[in-house]
């Protein structure tokens, strides 16, 4: 038998971890399920917000039993995390879909106390990949499996499916494959699902995915503004709509921009104020850490920062410098600007 490659060892695809998890798995008896009964699985889902609610519905449409827990009593199937665990048959699989950071860390810590050896936790939120090593070690110390799963698809995932990027042991990935197959889009598995590598790889891949998303959105946005600024182009929405077929810039994001322009052709109903959820920052930080030039993603992130400034201190400094060294004219701040004195310099 050939020796596994270094990449296979790193990715957890050699099959070696299987015995570690299988040894703790119940094989029958009261409150247990065996994989040979049928292809349907049972899943506990923590977090029934915009994404989690639709994921529960998509899984149920595929024939799987999903027991959800959420603090909102109108959508939850269980009264508490303890109740959720009690409703699940061993070996349990629990998917966590709550906000990244402390809410996810706290939820996983609670599950570590409630679950049993042989159970499995999947973090499907937008956690930073560095959290996955901590979570994996915490749960692994109790013989509980852990996978991290980057999920893309947003509110459209219910009908279109979700792109999935998973990190963790190959044996655990295979165990959860019926869940992943139900959530991913129809078509070849490799076009909507990837086992990216060991724990953390799924969230790292999703982080880069979201960084790319920042760059793509910024490019479309700048193109929209340039078209809108040119008097020569009289129907901007029509131009962008025409890019949907046959062009090299067609994409689902472009389709969504067309959809937005159909209801608001000038986008006048919105303010140009854009938040960032974290992944763009993390992508730029990792680009620095790995000495990878990422000017497009970096510029897209900084453009979002600029969108939140009504009046830029940096640009006031530039205006002052041009006035000082060259006597260039400046626009004085008015009483309503909140930027300082109205006196000429």
Residues known to be catalytic: 206, 213
Q: How far apart are CA 214 and CA 142, in angstroms?
A: 39
Neighbours of 31 (CB within 10 A): 11
Distance of alpha carbon 218 from the chain centroid: 18
Phi, psi of 201 (to 5 degrees): -65, -35
Among the listed residues 115, 169, 107, the one whose alpha carbon sits nearest the alpha carbon of residue 135: 107
Supply 298's token pair: 């970096």
CA–CA distances in Å: residue 242 to residues 216, 218, 230, 247, 288: 18, 19, 18, 8, 38
| Beta sheet of 93-96, edge-to-edge order | 65-69, 42-46, 93-96, 120-123, 145-152, 163-167, 193-197
DSSP string, 298-318: HHHHHHHHHHT-SS-HHHHHH
- Alpha-carbon distance of 250 to 240, in angstroms, equals 10
- For residues 274-304, one letter each, b for 16 or more C-beta atoms within 10 angstroms of the residue's C-beta and e for the rest, the string is beeeebbbbbbebbeeeeeebeebbebbebb
- CB-based burial of residue 14 (10 Å sphere; 0-12 exposed, 13-18 middle, 19+ buried)? middle
- DSSP state letters, 99-160: -TTHHHHHHHHHHHHH--TT-EEEE-S---HHHHHHHHHHHHTTT-EEEEEEEE-GGGHHHH
Residue 340 Rama label (left phi>0; alpha psi -120 to 50; beta): left
């Amino acid at each position: 038998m050939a020796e596994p490659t270094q990449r296979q060892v790193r990715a957890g695809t050699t099959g070696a971890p299987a015995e570690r998890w299988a040894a703790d798995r119940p094989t029958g008896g009261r409150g247990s399920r065996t994989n040979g009964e049928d292809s349907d699985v049972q899943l506990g889902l923590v977090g029934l917000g915009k994404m989690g609610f639709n994921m529960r519905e998509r899984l149920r449409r595929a024939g799987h039993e999903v027991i959800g827990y959420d603090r909102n009593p109108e959508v939850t199937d269980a009264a508490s995390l303890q109740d959720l665990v009690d409703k699940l048959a061993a070996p349990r699989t629990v998917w966590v879909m709550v906000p990244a950071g402390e809410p996810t860390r706290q939820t996983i810590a609670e599950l570590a106390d409630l679950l049993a050896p042989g159970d499995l936790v999947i973090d499907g939120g937008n956690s930073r990949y560095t959290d996955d090593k901590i979570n994996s070690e915490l749960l692994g110390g109790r013989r509980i499996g852990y996978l991290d799963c980057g999920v893309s698809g947003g509110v459209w995932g219910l009908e279109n499916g979700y792109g999935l990027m998973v990190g963790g042991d190959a044996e655990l990935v295979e165990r959860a494959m019926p869940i992943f197959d139900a959530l991913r889009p129809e078509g070849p598995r490799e076009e909507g699902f990837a086992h990216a590598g060991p724990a953390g790889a799924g969230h790292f891949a999703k982080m880069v995915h979201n960084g790319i998303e920042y760059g793509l959105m910024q490019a479309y946005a700048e193109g929209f503004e340039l078209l809108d600024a040119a008097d020569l182009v009289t129907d901007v929405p029509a131009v962008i709509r025409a890019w949907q077929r046959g062009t090299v810039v067609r994409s689902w994001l472009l389709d969504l921009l067309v959809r937005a322009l159909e209801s608001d052709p000038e986008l006048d109903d919105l303010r140009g104020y854009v938040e960032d959820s974290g992944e763009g920052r993390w992508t730029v930080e990792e680009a620095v850490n790995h000495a990878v030039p990422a000017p497009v993603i970096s510029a897209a992130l900084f453009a979002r920062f600029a969108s939140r400034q009504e009046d830029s201190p940096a640009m006031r400094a530039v205006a002052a410098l041009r006035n000082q060294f060259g006597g260039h004219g400046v626009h004085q701040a008015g009483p309503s600007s909140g930027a300082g004195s109205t006196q000429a310099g």
